Structure 1
C-alpha cells in the first residue's frame, strides 16, 4: 500500500517589489553565515543514480576554447570511461559557434548510447532555434531563480521571469524536446516564494505534455551545505527534499550542479544523491568557473562507495584522461589532487614508507595500481632511510612477493649512503626517479632483469 503524503498546501508565487537578498546570511562584507532550524528531512538514496557531464560547457568556458578535435577526443574518452555502464549518462554542449556545433554533430554521429549529447542555452527563443536545427533531443535552459539574478541581472520581477521561463519550456515541449531547467543560484533563492511555485508550474506542464521536465538545482556559488538541520536556502538536504515532496519532482528528474567555492562540492553532491536526487552534474578534473565544478572522477569513486560496485566502468582511463589534459591542453593538475594529481599516492615520510614496505594496504587508499593504473610511489628524500629506499625500489620496479627488497638488504646501503651525501652537500629537493634508477642499475643491476 502506498504511503499517504500531506499535499493540501499550495505554494503560490510571492511577487515582491524588492528583492530578498538574505543579507542576514550573505552580508557580502563578511563571510556568509550558516543557520540551523534543526528540521530533519528523511534520507532516501534513489534506486538508480548516475552522473552527467559539463566538460564542454561549464568546463570549457573557464579554459582556453577547446578545438573541435579536442572535444571529440574527450567525448570518446567519456564513452570509453563509461564503458556502456550508463553511469556517465549525458554531456552538454554549447551551440553558439560553428566549432562547437560541428563537434556536437560529430559526437552525435558516433551513435554512442552514453553519454548522450545534450545542449545548453540561455532562456530565449533565439537560442532555442539552434537546438531545433541541431536535432538535439534534450536541452538545458538557464533559468536564474535567486532575486540577485532576477532583479539585478535580468531587471525583472519574479512574475516576469517566471513567465519568460515558462514560455520557453512550452516552446520546447511543443517541439518534443526535453527541457532541463537550470535553476541558477538556488542556494540564494527564495525557495517557497519562487522556486516551489515555479517548479510546480513546470510539473503541471510536464504532466499535460507527457514529457518529463527535468530540474537542475544549481549551487552557482558553492554556498550549499550538507549539514543535517541546516536552514534554507543553503541546505542541500532541504532543497532536494523540497523538490521531491513540495513539487512532486521524481528523483530521476532532479539533477544537482555544484561549485567548489567553499570546498564542499563533493560532499554536497553526495548529499544530493543521498536525499533523493538521481543525477549529479560534473566536469572532468573539476574544471569550471572560479574554483571549479564537481570532479567527474570524484563522483565515479563516490558512486562505487555508495553502491558497492562500479559496474563495468574503465576507471584506469581516468589516469590517461588527466595525462591528455596535461599534454594536449597544457592544463596543470594540482599535484595533490585526489586520484589524478601526480602526488596523490606518493609518500615521503619514513614511517609511512616502512609501513608500505611491510604491506602497501597500510598507507594506500585502495589498489591504485589495479583501479587507476597508478601504482603507489615512495619518494626519496633526506628522511626516507633504508625503509624508504627499499619501498621506492619495490614500488618503482613493481616487485612482488619474494622479489621484493627488504630494508635490511645490504645492497641498499650504498644507495642510502649516496642519498645522505646528496643532502650533506646542500641538496634540498627530493631525489628524482631517473637519478635513483641510475644508481640502482649500478648497485643492483639484477633488478632490471626481474622487472623486465
Structure 2
C-alpha cells in the first residue's frame, strides 16, 4: 500500500497566476479527503494571514487525512504551523551544493545543524515530521543518508527526496530510491517535478525502488511544468503494477474538475485519465472495435475514474459510429433523416469541426424541422462601471418554460463589466443550471471605435461542453448573449 501525500494546495497553488481564498482551499481539501488522500499539505503557514486562516479552516473539519504545513528549518515557521493546529510539517531543507552555496549561503555542516535543530523543535511540540531534502536529486547521496538517519534519531517520521527541477530519469530514480530505502531507517517518499515530462514515470520508478509514499497534485499542476499527476500515478499503480492506494478512483474526474474550476486552470482535452478526450473516439475503425468490445481501444473503463466514454463525430466517422451514438443517446431516425444527419456531419467535419452531443441534437432538430425553444430568456441587463466604481451588474431572467413561470433577479460584482454581467447570470442560475465558464476569448473584427467584436465562450455543465460565438459592436452584450445561448443549449 502506497501512501498519497497531496500537495495541490501548496505546490499546486504555486502555479503562476493561481491564488485561492480560504473557502476555496477548504472546498478542495474536502474533495481531497473524500477522494481518500492520506496526507493533505494545506499550505505554508508562514506565507500570510490568509494562508493561516485557510489552514485553520481545514484543520477545524476533523478530516480523515493528516493535515500538513510546509515549513523551512526555522522555529518561526514551525510556530506558525502549530498555531494552525496541523498534524504534521513538511520540513524542507536544501541539500544540493548549488542551493546551499547560492541560496542558503551555508556550508553542509551548517545546513545539517539547522535541519536537525528544526526537527528536534518540531518533535518537542508534538508534530509528525516529514524531513525533506530539496534538490535532492542533484545532491550527494551520502549526505542525504546522513541527514535522514540523524533526523530519524531525533524522531523524524518520514524522509522525502525532492526532484526539484525534474532531472531524474526512471532508471536513476529506481536506483536512488533503492539505495536510500536500504540505508535509511525511516520510510522514504518521492516528490517529483515534470520539467522533462517524466514525473509520473519517475514517481512509479521511485515506488518500485522502495519509496512508500509519493507527493502528487491533482491534474499535475504546480510550478513550471508541474508536479507528478495524482490521477496518472494512482491509476498506473492500480492498473499496471497492481500496487494499491487508498484513493477512491471513481472520484478522480469530479475532483479534477473542482480543482480546475477553483484554480481557473482548464484541463487539457488530451490529459490522461481525466481529460475530456481520454475516453473519446472518432475514427471509424476504433468505434467499430468499441461496439464489439470496449477493451479493444480502452485500457480501463471510463467509469472506473468517474469519466465517461465519448463518441466524437467528425470527418473520420463512419455510419456505424453515428448509429452507435444515436443508440447511446436513445434517438431514433428514419433512413432518410439518418442520411441527412450523416451528410451534415461529414460536411461540418470537412470544415474542421467536430460534432458534440449538443451539436448533434441541433442538427437532428434541423433535419426534423423542429424549432429549439429557449427556456431561459434575458429580460433586462444593467451594468455600472467607472473609474472609482467597482463594476456591478444587475440581471433579470425569465423562464419561457410552460411548467415554470418565474423571474430570476440577481446582482453581482466583477473585475470588469463583462465579468460582473457573467457573474450575475451564474448567480441567478445557481441551483437551477450550474454552468462553468471554461474559456472566454474576444477579438476585434475590423478597425475603428465602432468595430465589431467576436466573443467566443466555452461552457460546461457536467460532462457536456458547448462553444458559442457572438459578434456585436457592444462587448458586454455580445458576451452575455453568447453565454445565454450556451446555457440554453446545455439545458
Does residue 99 of structure 1 match 2:50?
Answer: yes
Aligned residue in 2 for 1:376: 309
Query: 1:150/1:338 Cα in 2 relative to 1: closer, same or farther (>3 Å)?
Result: same
> Given the alignment, which residue of 191, 195, 201 partners 2:150?
201
Q: Give the conservation status (yes or no) of the 8 Å contact 1:93–1:117.
A: no
Does residue 418 of structure 1 match 2:344?
Answer: yes
Does residue 50 of structure 1 match 2:25?
Answer: no
Aligned residue in 1 for 2:30: 76
How far apart are residue 66 of structure 1 and its match? 0.5
Aligned residue in 2 for 1:285: 219
Query: 1:294/1:415 Cα in 2 relative to 1: closer, same or farther (>3 Å)?
Result: same
How far apart are residue 246 of structure 1 and its match? 2.2
Query: 1:244/1:360 Cα in 2 relative to 1: closer, same or farther (>3 Å)?
Result: closer
How many Å separate the matches in 2 of 1:69 and 1:135? 17
Does residue 123 of structure 1 match 2:49?
Answer: no
Q: Give the conservation status (yes or no) of the 8 Å contact 2:3–2:245.
A: no
CA offsets, 1:16-73, max 9 Å, x none?
xxxxxxxxxxxxxxxxxxxxxxxxxxxxxxxx31111111110111142111111000
CA offsets, 1:322-341, max 9 Å, x none?
33234333211111001221
Does residue 440 of structure 1 match 2:382?
Answer: no
* 3-state SS in 2 of match to 1:257: strand
How far apart are residue 280 of structure 1 and its match? 0.6
How far apart are residue 88 of structure 1 and its match? 3.1
How many Å separate the matches in 2 of 1:312 and 1:123? 30
Question: Which sits farther off after the overlay, 48-57 or 356-365?
Answer: 356-365
* 3-state SS in 1 of match to 2:271: coil
Aligned residue in 2 for 1:216: 160
Query: 1:328/1:265 Cα in 2 relative to 1: closer, same or farther (>3 Å)?
Result: same
* 3-state SS in 2 of match to 1:353: helix
How many Å separate the matches in 2 of 1:421 and 1:281? 47
How far apart are residue 76 of structure 1 and its match? 0.8
How many Å separate the matches in 2 of 1:428 and 1:93? 44
Q: How does 1:256-275 map to 2 (within 5 A)?
A: 256-275=190-209
Q: How does 1:387-402 map to 2 (within 5 A)?
A: 387-395=320-328, 397=329
Structure 1 length-normalised TM: 0.75
- Considering fraction of residues, name the structure with more strand: 2
Question: Which sits farther off after the overlay, 276-285 or 319-328?
Answer: 319-328
Q: How does 1:123-202 map to 2 (within 5 A)?
A: 123-192=73-142, 194-202=143-151
Query: 1:304/1:353 Cα in 2 relative to 1: closer, same or farther (>3 Å)?
Result: same
How far apart are residue 162 of structure 1 and its match? 1.0
Aligned residue in 2 for 1:335: 269
How many Å separate the matches in 1 of 2:79 and 2:245? 38
Aligned residue in 2 for 1:112: 63
> Given the alignment, which residue of 223, 236, 241 partners 2:178?
241
CA offsets, 1:74-125, max 9 Å, x none?
011011111xxxx534434211222221121121111122x21111111212
Q: How does 1:301-316 map to 2 (within 5 A)?
A: 301-305=235-239, 308=242, 313-316=247-250
Could you tell me which runs of 5 or more consecutive residues in structure 1 were left unpaired when the two chains were aligned.
1-47, 207-211, 228-234, 446-452
* 3-state SS in 1 of match to 2:120: helix
How many Å separate the matches in 2 of 1:72 and 1:247? 35
How many Å separate the matches in 1 of 2:184 and 2:257? 43
Q: Give the conservation status (yes or no) of the 8 Å contact 2:42–2:55.
A: no
Higher relative contact order (CA 8 A, sep 6+): 1
* 3-state SS in 1 of match to 2:176: helix
Query: 1:270/1:182 Cα in 2 relative to 1: closer, same or farther (>3 Å)?
Result: same
How many Å separate the matches in 1 of 2:74 and 2:178? 30
CA offsets, 1:287-312, max 9 Å, x none?
10111011112232134226748687
Aligned residue in 2 for 1:348: 282
* 3-state SS in 1 of match to 2:11: helix
* 3-state SS in 1 of match to 2:300: coil
Aligned residue in 2 for 1:10: none
Q: Give the conservation status (yes or no) of the 8 Å contact 1:258–1:293.
A: yes
* 3-state SS in 2 of match to 1:305: helix
